[in-house]
């Protein structure tokens, strides 16, 4: 377990650190706001210098935080990619979301995730009702070519990037997809550069109308491959050992490659912000920056060296906070007061109702999300009763957070009565001390929430009792 540094510990326990905007601030504008959601892939809570990273700097993302609001208690949809993105797009937590795990639909083009059902309402569907131009650029992971889960069938006018997770593992791919057209690349071009070109084009072409851009980059997911022009200088991180690849490509300097990839992402964020300023639309554009889950340990990655999960326990595929608590920054000049720090407890499924608020629409009934627009604009913020997650690999895992309390259950696919762990995040944010025996009534309450939050589905058998049927 990691030692919690005093500075970070203080930051985590701040209860009212944000500064409210003036009473005259408006929650709506005469012109509908543009929305850019930037989703990093496997970026840890502590992989940004504004969150505490000490071994390298992310100046452009730091500037985004300085100009907006930094959330200290924001959570991903779950601890792996596809279900986390499903929660983001649909407003449902993984207890009853249409995609609850990384699936394995086999198609001639490769391995793709389970397809998003045709009747699902996404954020893109919501904004299309207000005549937004919409684009998903980067990694989709919720339906391959010809399936009902393709992004063009879920509100996105334009798609460019990786449809499936298997292909998204590689930065010099054989192919990418532009809408439903295969773009052959023959492993000759660095995909993040191509996706940035499409991003610049989309923003520029739609500068005079409201747009929603879901920029779902693959950085810094394994493999640790970076174009030569972005690799940091020789001699840095000399203590590192070469990574010999199998599925992922080999990398002689994995530490340096990881830093270079994050700094490439940081530079792309800076380019997007400068473009918005050059086009004169930065003050009407909400930028959100976050990550789909905690840091990975694949392909030569070394999250312990970089302290990527900061004060928290766990990594990708864990439901401890290291696997699901993620950096989260929002910025909209003139609407979100600069330099705010928020302790509001929020999650991916809050994005859809937030967009509904921003565009003056009612959120769909039955979703789990709560809009965080009031928090951003300095107004009274409604709070969640609880947040819930589940994970369908490694024996099955469930977790719930309610205020200061966090409960985790493991081996739910293997055991009839798995042990429930209880943590007090106020005194133990690292989740080192299971206090279920000290607070049996609280443990019982959290277990009841877990049982209620998980809805049985024959496509997503999580519990041992479900798998036996």
Domain covering 394-467, topology:
Arylsulfatase, C-terminal domain (3.30.1120)
Q: What value, to the nearest 5°, has the Cα angle with vertex 265 and ends 392 and 178?
A: 70
Strands (E), 198-343: 211-216, 285-291, 328-331, 340-342
For 88-126, write each residue's pLDDT tens digit: 999 999 999 999 998 766 666 656 778 999 999 999 999
Domain boundaries, the chain: 9-18+33-384, 394-467
Residue 266 CA to residue 462 CA, distance in Å, equals 37
Close Cβ partners of 201 (under 8 Å, ≥ 6 residues apart): none
Query: What pLDDT, on the 0 to 100 scale, is given for residue 106?
Result: 66
Query: What pLDDT, on the 0 to 100 scale, is given for residue 240?
Result: 81
Query: What pLDDT, on the 0 to 100 scale, is given for residue 237?
Result: 78
Query: Do residues 161 and 137 touch, judged by C-beta distance below 8 A?
Result: yes
Q: Do 9-18+33-384 and 394-467 fold alike per CATH?
A: no
pTM (2 d.p.): 0.93
Query: Tokens for 359?
Result: 């565009």
Strands 133-139 and 158-162: parallel
Strands 285-291 and 420-424: unpaired
Query: Do residues 302 and 251 touch, judged by C-beta distance below 8 A?
Result: no
Using DSSP's 3-state secondary structure scheme, residue 71 falls into: strand
For 210-241, write each residue's pLDDT tens digit: 999 999 999 999 999 999 999 998 677 777 88
Residue 71 CA to residue 381 CA, distance in Å, equals 14
Residue 400 CA to residue 52 CA, distance in Å, equals 26
Ranges in the chain, pLDDT < 70: 1-30, 104-111, 234
Query: What pLDDT, on the 0 to 100 scale, is given for residue 110?
Result: 59
Query: What pLDDT, on the 0 to 100 scale, is given for residue 236?
Result: 75
Q: Select from 9, 11, 3, 39 the least CA-distant residue to 351.
A: 39
Query: Do residues 3 and 178 touch, judged by C-beta distance below 8 A?
Result: no
User: What's the CATH code, domain 9-18+33-384?
Assistant: 3.40.720.10
Q: Residue 329: what are its φ and ψ, rounded to 5°?
A: -130, 135
């Amino acid at each position: 377990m990691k030692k919690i540094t005093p500075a970070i510990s203080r930051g985590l326990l701040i209860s009212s650190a944000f500064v409210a905007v003036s009473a005259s601030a408006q929650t709506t504008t005469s012109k509908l706001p543009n929305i850019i959601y930037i989703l990093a892939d496997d970026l840890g809570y502590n992989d940004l210098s504004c969150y505490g990273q000490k071994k390298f700097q992310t100046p452009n993302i730091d500037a985004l935080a300085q100009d907006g609001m930094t959330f200290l208690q924001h959570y991903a949809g779950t601890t792996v990619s596809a279900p986390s993105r499903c929660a983001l797009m649909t407003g449902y937590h993984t207890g009853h979301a249409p995609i609850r795990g990384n699936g394995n639909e086999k198609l001639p083009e490769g391995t793709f995730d389970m397809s998003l059902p045709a009747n699902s309402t996404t954020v893109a569907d919501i904004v299309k009702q207000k005549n937004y131009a919409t684009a998903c650029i980067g990694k989709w992971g919720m339906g391959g070519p010809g399936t009902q889960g393709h992004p063009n069938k879920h509100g996105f006018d334009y798609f460019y990037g990786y449809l499936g997770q298997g292909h998204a593992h590689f930065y010099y791919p054989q192919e990418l997809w532009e809408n439903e057209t295969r773009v052959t690349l023959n492993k000759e071009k660095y995909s993040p550069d191509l996706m940035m070109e499409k991003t610049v084009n989309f923003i520029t072409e739609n500068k005079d109308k409201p747009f929603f851009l879901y920029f779902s980059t693959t950085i810094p997911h394994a493999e640790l491959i970076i174009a030569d022009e972005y690799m940091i200088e020789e001699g840095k991180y000399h203590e590192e050992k070469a990574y010999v690849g199998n599925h992922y490509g080999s990398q002689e300097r994995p530490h340096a490659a990881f830093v270079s990839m994050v700094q490439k992402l940081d530079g792309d964020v800076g380019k997007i912000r400068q473009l918005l300023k050059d086009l004169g639309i930065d003050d009407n554009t909400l930028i959100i920056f976050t990550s789909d889950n905690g840091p990975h340990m694949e392909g030569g990655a070394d999250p312990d060296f970089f302290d990527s999960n900061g004060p928290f326990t766990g990594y990708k595929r864990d439901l401890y906070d290291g696997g699901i608590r993620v950096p989260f920054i929002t910025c909209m000049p003139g609407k979100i007061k600069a330099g705010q720090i928020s302790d509001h407890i929020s999650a991916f499924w809050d994005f859809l109702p937030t967009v509904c608020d921003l565009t003056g629409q009612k959120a769909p009934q039955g979703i789990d999300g709560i809009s965080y627009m009031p928090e951003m604009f300095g107004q009274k913020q409604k709070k969640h009763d609880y947040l819930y997650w589940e994970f369908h690999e490694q024996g099955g895992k469930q977790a719930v957070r309610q205020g200061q309390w966090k409960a985790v259950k493991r081996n739910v696919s293997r055991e009839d009565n798995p042990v429930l762990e209880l943590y007090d995040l106020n005194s133990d944010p690292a989740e080192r001390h299971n206090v279920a025996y000290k607070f049996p009534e609280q443990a019982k309450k959290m277990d009841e929430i877990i049982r209620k939050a998980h809805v049985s589905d024959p496509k997503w058998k999580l519990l041992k009792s479900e798998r036996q049927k």
